[in-house]
Amino acid sequence: MGFKGSPNGVVAISFFTVVCLVMAGVSYGATFTEQFDAFSSDGYHVQVAPDGQEAKIVLDQVAASGFGSKNQYLFGNISMKIKLVPGDSAGTVTAYYLSSAQPAHDELDFEFLGNASGQPYVLQTNVFANGVGGREQRINLWFDPSADFHSYGVLWNKNQIIFTVDDKPIRLYKNSEDLGVAYPKSKPMGLYASLWNGDQWATEGGLIKLNWTHAPFIVSFKEFSTLDGCVVTNNDITPCTATTTHWWEASAFQTINRNQAEQILWVKENYEVYDYCKDTKRYTTEPVECSRNVPLL
Ligand SMILES: *[C@@H]1O[C@H](CO)[C@@H](O)[C@H](O)[C@H]1NC(C)=O
């Protein structure tokens, strides 16, 4: 009795709370269910580990599936670890992206285009602003992304977007509103992942088809705590746009440093297989934002 008013009771509760928070921080991050809603409820096409620290999505002839974040973000450093479909993944596409609501949506994309066993995966990134995309860059990764988990993310603020792999920058996309190019900076985006049959176009331009005898195709995700973005609530973006309290707004994150520039150029020189900026069939003159997105040393 008297629990509510008892000073000892209050102390006991707060001590217990602190212990729980410490345990949560040290040994466990956010669970899948805390951060995401699965797009399938059959218990098979989205599978969550009992401790909530890992999730798998399964593609077979019955269904494709995926999941989406409960929160909507505007700016931040948002990443997750992914282990891609191993073996013969030709024709499969693992999409992992931030997207705002339609129409005239903003979107930041990672798309992993599967391949025959032993052949390199292509990672395609793209940026949409106000419904306009067409800014694909494709690279081969310098490791086998199906052998282990690697982190993929974006550092996104008012001035630039940096796509990262294992925290290394692979692509820079600067705000070019001064050149008349729309930039994603006012529409909150959710984080989504899906695995689907893209064999009309994905692997060698659609030549290599998905082989269903190798199904089910499975991609795994973990580290659901690294969605470090400004969460938009009640459609009010002001706390995300009008403050200077978020670490990614600091001056160090408004431009890239020399190491980051070197890393991006290393990827471009050694691993890039397609760049919309150089596709003169699609763009007879180079899109105006292109030159400033190639870092200078
Ligand atoms: C698949 O492997 C082939 C052969 O190495 C390569 O040319 C191609 O770019 C790879 N990726 C895709 C998505 O086709």
pLDDT at 25: 44
Active site residue 269: no
Q: Are 131 and 235 in contact (CB under 8 A)?
A: no
Q: Which amino acid is at 185?
A: K
pLDDT at 238: 95
CATH no. for residue 91?
2.60.120.200
∠ CA 269-270-275, nearest 5°, is: 60
pLDDT at 15: 41
pLDDT at 244: 79
Query: Is position 239 within any domain?
Result: yes
Active site residue 111: yes
| Cα 105 to Cα 187: distance, rounded to the nearest angstrom | 8
Q: Which two tokens stand for residue 55?
A: 């999730």
113 lines ligand 1 (CB under 6 A): yes
Percent over 70 (pLDDT), the chain: 91
Catalytic, out of 54, 107, 249, 289: 107
> What domain range includes position 91?
29-293
Query: Is position 11 within any domain?
Result: no
Query: Is position 17 within any domain?
Result: no
Q: Which two tokens stand for residue 42?
A: 């059959």
Query: Is position 3 within any domain?
Result: no
pLDDT at 157: 98
Query: Is position 234 within any domain?
Result: yes
pLDDT at 297: 86
The total of structural domains in the chain comes to: 1
pLDDT at 220: 98
Going by CA atoms, what residue is nearest to atom 13 of ligand 1? 203
Query: Is position 9 within any domain?
Result: no
Catalytic, out of 34, 54, 111, 204: 111
Write the CB contacts of 43 (distance below 8 Å, at least 6 apart in sequence): none
Regions of the chain short of the pLDDT cut 50: 1-26
Backbone dihedral angles phi then psi of residue 283, each to the nearest 5 degrees: -125, 105
Q: Which two tokens stand for residue 72?
A: 């909507």
Tell me, letter by letter, the H, E, C secondary structure of the chain: CCCCCCHHHHHHHHHHHHHHHHHHHHHCCCCHHHHEEECCCCCCCEEECCCCCEEEEEECCCCCEEEEECCCEEEEEEEEEEECCCCCCCCEEEEEEEECCCCCCCEEEEEEECCCCCCCCEEEEEEEECCECCCCEEEECCCCCCCCCEEEEEEECCCEEEEEECCEEEEEEECCHHHCCCCCCCCCEEEEEEEEECCCCCCHHHCCCCCHHHCCEEEEEECCCCEEEEECECCECHHHHCCCCCHHHCHHHCCCCHHHHHHHHHHHHHCEEEEHHHCCCCCCCCCCCCHHHCCCC
User: Distance from the CA of 33 to the center of ligand 1, in angstroms?
Assistant: 35
pTM for the whole structure? 0.90
pLDDT at 26: 44
User: Distance from the CA of 117 to the center of ligand 1, in angstroms?
Assistant: 11
204 lines ligand 1 (CB under 6 A): yes
Q: Which residue has the tokens 């306009």?
A: 132
User: Distance from the CA of 205 to the center of ligand 1, in angstroms?
Assistant: 9
Query: Is position 152 within any domain?
Result: yes
Query: Is position 19 within any domain?
Result: no
120 lines ligand 1 (CB under 6 A): yes
